[in-house]
């Protein structure tokens, strides 16, 4: 039972264009959402997060949009750069998940390739 | 502070052997997590510590797995009688508990059981 789904295993974009990575979730208890980037042989690196009380959060070239009614979020990268090429994971946590452990549930990831 | 450190980076072991991994979290972080990642999957939660107390264990953590965090600092994850299905990347992460900042992950320990 996958509670966080990233339905696109891969995405290829041209340098300078917009990259849009999508994520869907099923658990209504999720109230915090995060995006991580992962390079080969490294651990995931935190990129940006959004609380369920917001619908948009922006940090430099990265913007995350949240549509609670559709249980959908997306990460926009503008402009895309070759160094952005990595696997991007969507993750979610439920604030009231017993003990406030804030454990993260991850999607399977999307491999982004930005071509020069 | 250099972030979350994990040791070893790679471990190859024969089926049936015991292995132990170590994680040194960011010193100010009182929360520590272990995750496992297999090929083509996202990281999956294994267990969580707040200070020295192990507060949650996933059903993925069979009886062959044990984790400790003595004195609330570093943590160890031991796998007894390893099986080929245990081959994975084992990731440790730490957090201050401020949700907007996410976790800080280590580089992981790649376990291969032959």
- Judge: A36–B48 Cβ closer than 8 Å, yes or no: no
Q: Are A87 and A110 in contact (CB under 8 A)?
A: yes
Which pLDDT value is given to residue A36?
96
Residues 6+ apart with CB under 8 A from A46: A34, A36, B101, B102, B103, B104
Instruction: Give residue A93's Cα distance to chain centre.
Output: 13
Residue B45 pairs in a beta bridge with B35
Residue B113 banded pLDDT, cuts 50, 70, 90: very high
The tokens for B73 are 């600092």
Mutate which: B7, B50, B103, B106, vs A, most A CBs within 10 A: B103
Please choose, from the candidates B28, B70, B80, the residue with its C-alpha nearest in 3D space to the C-alpha of residue B49.
B70
Confirm or reject contact between B48 and chain A (CB < 8 A): yes
Residue B1 clears pLDDT 80, i.e. is over it: no
Residues of B in contact with A91 (CB under 8 A): 42, 102
Q: Residue ranges of chain A with pLDDT lower than 50?
A: 98-99
Is the Cα dihedral B94, B44, B21, B72 positive or negative?
A: positive
Please name the residues in contact with A18: beta carbons below 8 A apart, sequence gap of 6 or more. A76, A77, A78, A79, A80
DSSP B97: S
């Amino acid at each position: 039972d996958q509670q966080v789904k990233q339905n696109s295993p891969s995405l290829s974009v041209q340098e300078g264009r917009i990259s849009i990575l999508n994520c869907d979730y099923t658990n209504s208890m999720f109230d915090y959402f995060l995006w991580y980037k992962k390079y080969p042989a490294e651990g995931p690196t935190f990129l940006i997060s959004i609380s369920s009380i917001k619908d948009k959060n922006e940090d430099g070239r990265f913007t995350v949009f949240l549509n609670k009614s559709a249980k959908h979020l997306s990460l926009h990268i503008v402009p895309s750069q070759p160094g952005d090429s990595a696997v991007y994971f969507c993750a979610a946590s439920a604030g009231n998940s017993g003990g406030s452990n804030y454990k993260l549930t991850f999607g399977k990831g999307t491999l982004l390739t930005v071509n020069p | 502070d250099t972030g979350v450190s994990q040791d070893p980076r790679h471990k190859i072991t024969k089926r049936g052997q015991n292995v132990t991994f170590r994680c040194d979290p960011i010193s100010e972080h009182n929360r520590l997590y272990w995750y496992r990642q297999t090929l083509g999957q996202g990281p999956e939660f294994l267990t969580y510590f707040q200070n020295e107390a192990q507060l949650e264990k996933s059903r993925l953590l069979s009886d062959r797995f044990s984790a400790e965090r003595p004195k609330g600092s570093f943590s160890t994850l031991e796998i007894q009688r390893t099986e080929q299905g245990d081959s994975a990347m084992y990731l440790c992460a730490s957090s201050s508990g401020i949700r907007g900042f996410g976790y800080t992950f280590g580089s992981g320990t790649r376990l291969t059981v032959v």
